[in-house]
Amino acid sequence: MSRIAKTPNTINRHHVNPAAIRVVEHLRRADFEAYIVGGAVRDLILGGQPKDFDVATNAKPEEIKALFRRARVIGRRFQIVHVRDGKDIIEVTTYRGPHDSDGSLKSASQQSAQGLLLRDNVYGTLEQDAARRDLTINAMYYDPVSETILDQIDGSSDIAARLIRVIGDPEKRYREDPVRMLRVARFAAKLQFDIETKTEAAIGECATLLGEIPPPRLFDEFLKLFMAGHGKPTLLLLLHHGLLDSLCPEAASLIEREPRYKALVTNAMGNTDLRVQEGRPVTPAFLLAALLWPALQNRANTLVDQGEAPLQAIHSAGQQVIAETCLHMAIPRRFSFPVREIWELQPRLERKQPRKIKDLLANRRFRAAYDLLLLRADSPEPLDGIGDFWEQQQQKYPELVGSAPPQPDDRPPRRRRPRRNRNP
């Protein structure tokens, strides 16, 4: 294990969450090892402010739970403990060990015939824990007491070289957990790092393994990929590596084939990234409406060719596209409803019927539908002057825009507990 001393300006102690330091100190008072680990250390070294803090320790989940008043063990496939400290939640994980180690219990470790890890609760040492993390840059341990970093995998060299590198044999690591491929693309886009050659080459072999991942986990990953302010570069990388198919195969193949769809979707992502960077609210519903629009339009066109009326065609196609997509990523209904509303407004906005203008302006999805319409017009689709028309109407009746009261089927969004959805 190599220790690299903290250089004065790499980690700014003020960027370290005091709650995470308290958790580390408390575990150590009970004679356990404890470090801040993973993405927080990576972001601290890069000079950023981590969004959450994970702690790794040799204490077992039940031992951690016994030490903290407000602690909950969560997860089955991958148990972790959430320790609450004021409004902060610190995720505390026990060091994981290799699965083939002697004496690993069947109930603790499970692997599918293809090598996919189904359960990962085999505990180990810090060195073993580092080796089973996904990327070298995510496998550094920060000791906030001595202010040193433990870096046996040499993640700091890859940070300096701006490289995303999977730890160990990439193909084996992707087989254990194919979501690691999406993580490679996500971090490469977010950090603007290059992908190391072998890490990149194995993706081609393994991309289809993402079909084994449960759809709810892929939807969680979708949110991380596209809602964090780097959606556009992430999308381009996913396309480049044939990884978008794992989330939405039908839309992905149309985006790959037709430049106007690629333009529409990349512009939607780019606009959302700007909103995130400006701290404005963003909704997954709009992104999904744009991302899946190619599939929706393609299917609706086919239905119209078969004689269906345009509004009905969009309605039926909407149902089909959502159902098909949910086989890959499970879109919760609180998002799929608005997606379909945004789609169904498209032909109605295109018609510009004078009697309907005020109702359409008042529709609570008007803004999102109008934004999609603009993206379509720019892509370009032949929608002559449509943007100007609706711009003028909004200027004429600004108080109406989105003013309609919620409908009876509008359920308030349910609060979800943060879910830990990952393999080792």
Biggest alpha carbon distance in the chain? 75
The burial class, CB within 10 Å (0-12 / 13-18 / 19+), for 396 is: exposed
Q: How far is the CB of 138 from Mg ion (least distance, A)?
A: 9
Among 180, 230, 232, 376, binds ligand ATP (CB under 6 A): 180
The question of whether 134 is a catalytic residue gets the answer: yes
Interacting partner of 423 out of Mg ion, ligand ATP, none (Cβ under 5 to 8 A depending on kind):
ligand ATP
Stretch of 20-28, 52-60, 178-186, 358-366 lying at the interface with Mg ion (CB under 5 A):
52-60
Which helix (H) or strand (E) segment holds residue 57: the answer is: strand 54-57
Q: How far apart are CA 161 and CA 163, in angstroms?
A: 6
Token pair for 99: 């699965």
Q: How far is the CB of 293 from ligand ATP (least distance, A)?
A: 27
Among 39, 155, 178, 284, binds Mg ion (CB under 5 A): 39
Among 39, 61, 124, 178, binds ligand ATP (CB under 6 A): 39
Residues 116-155 that bind ligand ATP (CB under 6 A): 133-134, 138-139
The question of whether 54 is a catalytic residue gets the answer: yes
Stretch of 47-55, 58-66, 258-266, 329-337 lying at the interface with Mg ion (CB under 5 A):
47-55
Question: By the 8 A CB rule, do 49 and 92 touch?
Answer: no
Question: By the 8 A CB rule, do 352 and 326 touch?
Answer: no
Token pair for 31: 């004679």
Residue 422 lies near ligand ATP (rule: CB under 6 A): yes
Residue 17 lies near Mg ion (rule: CB under 5 A): no
Q: How far is the CB of 54 from Mg ion (least distance, A)?
A: 6
Select 72 or 217, whichever has its Cβ closest to ligand ATP.
Answer: 217
Reduced to 3 states (helix: H, G, I; strand: E, B; else coil), residue 5 is: strand
The burial class, CB within 10 Å (0-12 / 13-18 / 19+), for 315 is: middle
The catalytic residue among 43, 54, 158, 220 is 54
Select 55 or 296, whichever has its Cβ closest to ligand ATP.
Answer: 55
Which helix (H) or strand (E) segment holds residue 73: the answer is: strand 71-74
Residue 365 lies near ligand ATP (rule: CB under 6 A): no
Instruction: Look at strands 194-195 and 34-37 and give their pairing.
Output: unpaired
The catalytic residue among 43, 134, 220, 245 is 134
The closest residue (CB) to Mg ion is 39
**DSSP codes, 128-183:** HHHHTSSBGGG--EEETTTTEEE-TT-HHHHHHHTEE-BSS-HHHHHHH-THHHHH
- Nearest CA to 40 out of 72, 66, 16, 12 is that of 16
Select 124 or 424, whichever has its Cβ closest to ligand ATP.
Answer: 424
Residue 170 lies near ligand ATP (rule: CB under 6 A): no
Catalog residues that contact Mg ion under the rule CB under 5 A: 39, 52
Give the residues lining the site for ligand ATP (CB under 6 A). 38-39, 51-52, 54, 133-134, 138-139, 177, 179-180, 224, 422-424
The residues annotated as belonging to the active site are 52, 54, 134
